[in-house]
Structure 1
């Protein structure tokens, strides 16, 4: 939120247009006329205090408040405008004004997009950011076990509201509490409850969408193909989802968490090798992920039950880990949210904090594993993790509910047959700016190449919410529409056989490709 001191200057529209011209003198005069008209159009429907131009004293602070990766603070194409709507009518007006004046919109809910495409462009472009930070209500109906969650809410805000509404309801989404709901749901969204209840997107039962014509649509009026596409198919490709109706899930009054570190000298190579067979086949109530960094593997778990019930399962199914009663921490589900991600001293109120440390930049990518990786290869992997400038791996087990859903049921295809997901990450000092981290990026690139023989193939699968432009970028054709064939390069990695249906849904709702970024779904007209 912002106060009166953060409002846009009250100078005349002509002076504002003149400033925009000076800031972008290299642009074509027709483009400047478009942004001048865009401002006038916006101002007729949206209060000035919700609009920020590059001349506004608060422009930089408003833009940077939603940037989660310091490398994107500099050396990137920034929006000409930032719009911070407070209701659906403002969003509808922004779309209509943008279409009328040739100004595209990029949609930001939390700013965690790994490539920053919700607020920046890889190429020179005149665009506006529609930041949903003021559309962030969470309305929980405990009696019906449902909730309406606005896209600008964070996962932490959603979890907090659910926890306040009752001790035996939860929602299966990601770990990081500052992630925005809009982007997370639209890419699938998984966390510690994925084996019991699947993805966040699997539990979406309705949505409110503003489409490229400025229409306000729900599940029924948008059509079944578009509603299908929103739930895991990169939702920003199809319009602006303002709110999601979700079904909440049942959890017991007591859950158990543990974190057991194992070093290489303690047998980590053997334990991780064994984990691959065990974790995807455990009871659905038990989720054990692994964070592998340096010469240590940390086994992090959430169990929907008590320690007394967990111990016999661990002794019989995964004795290699050596987990015992002293490792157990019993608590409520909502208490487990900050405990797992923020640490043992964190409180439930801490998940409401929308700020994050901006001391390190990062690069990430992902893989899926369908056949267990051999011990010798794991020994080599730990060698990679011991190198200078090495990053880390996060292994999330599948199986259970996420694997029981058909690949075509939602756009998210990584279901039956997947053992686990790998996320690779590396970090470097933010002081290096946008051009820093060369050695760390090289490590990710080279390690990713090394892993190719051991992960999924044809296509080599990736997770859309771990967006990586190194997998490919859209090519815009002479008609101003992204190429379907060029999009296959990255699209089939994220969506496998669902990519074509996504492109056909895109053609239904946005045939001329207004909602577009470097990895948005291209439109495909049936029969072409």
Structure 2
């Protein structure tokens, strides 16, 4: 019996070695085919060897993991590694990469910063090539025109720093996390703490450079207004490879004011949140007040022996005011008195320094810290989103807070709208969430514990809270923000029902703009080469399926 068991073990080990040999042989074959193709696209062999990485390359894993921002997909069985990683250093490289990926019939995944919360820029269920844009991060600032060209692989922090180096009175309305990549952030909308004054990032895009499905490098004029419209909020990865955006910079005052104020339930936090809902989207456009709602443990202040710490809600109000603290104090005292803001809560500074505080750097950090592309330590995380059109009544807020306390591990981020967002029509860009919205919700779950048990617990909690919030948020559709990527709301297997599957999540992300996005996609990429789990589908698959069903019925009726 022992001998037989050993024989089975030896056979099994031989089988594993055979599978590994087959995999490596297949990977080598793909690599050779891809490299040979690139040489036919006028890319010198000396350049190819520096930008193309197979799994056998010693740098492969470090490049792959460098921009994975979610530990759920880091060194995990869920992480289906790419067959090849390509890190172009020239725009012409990207054109060749697109054409050769098509020729060897693989999927192309495009990564600019890796902050897509579901990791779809670097994982896939099918063999794929990952195009990582981190080497294409040039930034050119024109102070006279107040414009800039920014390549897709640059981070927001690098953009902010480069603007500051040229001018202390220019800025750009974009996100508060400095390690986010420009390509994904801007093409998905680009939400930040100056949107009430200046709108979204996409509302300040003047031009773009894009590699299309035919390997052409196009600008706004040559791609046409339909495609240019589509990549300003419709997700660039559905239409091509974003190389760069030309953006309109905005004027910021030499002095801005920041505050961060915490209130707990026993400090009338619920009443303050009620007033925030009625004020934050209507107050002066120069003021943005973000609200974080988090379940926390309140320490036993009296230190009574045997008494347990109690669970409560902490409401944190974080603000950027484009002006001085005296003006801010006067404004908040009049419009938002429940907050109880004091002068000592307010800190005047340069705009660039406010960027550092919003990014959770301490007040001793220098602007050079924004050049760090790696960011904070890696967490396991999940995000979801919602939009609120009517204030949530006090009794309902109380029930939400109690629900959060009972769950214990999920936070909410309320981001106010109003101002410039009310002035821009829903169809001006694919991003439709405009007038009528009071605030956007981000559901946030972060954890450090590894393993499926912890993941199941946190995912269950965030989905539970999302379900509980259904009566209080937008309906028909229940809207969602593309850059808070959430595969729970629908995915696409790119099969014969692609259009129907795409409509499920597409309507939530884009409302009626989804229909125009499908038309643009069908025109620009009719064979659906640029695709992912939540990409814009073409009409072709649906039409093909319709005719297939029609002829099947005709055949069966005979």
Q: Would you say same fold, with TM above 0.5?
A: yes
Q: Which of structures 1 and 2 has the bigger CA Rg?
A: 2
Structure 1 residue 25 corresponds to structure 2 residue 22:
yes
Aligned to 1:8: none
Shift of 1:159: 0.4
Q: Is 1:513 aligned to residue 504 of structure 2?
A: no
| Structure 1 residues 24 and 416, CA gap change in structure 2 (3 angstroms) | farther
How far has the Cα of 1:293 moved from its partner? 0.7
- Partners of 2:314 and 2:467 lie apart in 1 by 22
Aligned with 2:117 (options 114, 135, 146): 114
- Consecutive unaligned residues of structure 1, counting only runs of 5 or more, are 1-20
Q: 1:28: Cα distance to partner?
A: 11
Q: 1:448 to 1:497 in 2, by over 3 A?
A: same
Structure 1 position 524 matched with structure 2 position 542: no
Say whether residues 1:71 and 2:89 are aligned partners. no
| Alignment map for 1:203-282 (pairs within 5 Å) | 203-282=204-283
TM-score normalized by structure 1?
Answer: 0.92
1:299 and 1:129 map into 2 onto residues whose CA distance is 39
CA RMSD, aligned part only? 1.9
Quick check: 1:427–1:437 contact (8 Å CA) kept in 2? no
Equivalent runs, 1:143-158 vs 2, <5 Å: 143-158=144-159
* Residue 378 of structure 1: aligned partner: 397
Counterpart Cα distance in 2 of 1:371 and 1:388:
25
Report the TM-score when normalising by structure 2. 0.87
Residue pair 1:35, 1:103 contacting (<8 A) in 2 also: no
CA distance in 1 between counterparts of 2:453 and 2:59 reads 26
Among 91, 107, 127, which residue is 1:104 paired with? 107
Q: CA deviation at 1:343?
A: 3.5
How many angstroms apart in 1 are the aligned matches of 2:408 and 2:279?
Answer: 31
CA deviation vs aligned residue, 1:333-376 (integer Å, no higher than 9, x gap): 11110012224333211111111333420001000000111111
Q: CA deviation at 1:204?
A: 0.5
1:190-209 correspondence runs (5 A): 190-209=191-210
Q: Indicate conservation of the 8 Å contact 2:411/2:444, yes or no.
A: yes
2:314 equivalent in structure 1: 296
2:42 pairs with 1:39? no
Residues 287 and 79 of structure 1, relative CA distance in 2, 3 Å threshold: same
2:255–2:323 Cα contact (<8 Å) kept:
yes
Change (3 A) 1:277 1:24: farther
Report the CA distance between 1:161 and its aligned residue: 0.4
Secondary structure of residue in 1 paired with 2:512:
helix
Which residue matches 1:316? 334
CA distance in 1, matches of 2:346, 2:174: 23
CA-to-aligned-CA distance 1:173-197 (integer Å, 9 cap, x gap): 0000000000000110111100000
- Cα distance between partner residues in 1 of 2:21 and 2:519: 36
Give the total of aligned pairs: 501
Pick closer, same or farther for the CA change 1:509–1:66 going to 2, 3 Å.
Answer: same
> Hey, what's the Cα distance between the residues in 2 that align with 1:214 and 1:433?
42
Q: Deviations over 1:196-228 (max 9, x none)?
A: 000001100100000111000000110111000
Q: Provide the residue aligned with 1:406 in structure 2.
A: 425
Q: CA separation in 2, counterparts of 1:60 and 1:382?
A: 43
Matching residue of 2:95:
92
Partner of 2:470: 452
Q: Which residue does the alignment assign to 1:358?
A: 377
Per the TM alignment, residue 312 of structure 1 is displaced from its structure 2 partner at its CA by 1.0
Residue ranges of structure 2 left out of the alignment (5+ in a row): 1-17, 296-312, 544-558
Q: 1:169 to 1:217 in 2, by over 3 A?
A: same
- CA separation in 2, counterparts of 1:386 and 1:527? 45
Q: Does 1:501 align with 2:516?
A: yes
Alignment CA distance shift 1:434-1:79 (3 Å):
farther
Q: 2:209·2:242 contact (CA, 8 Å) conserved in 1? A: yes
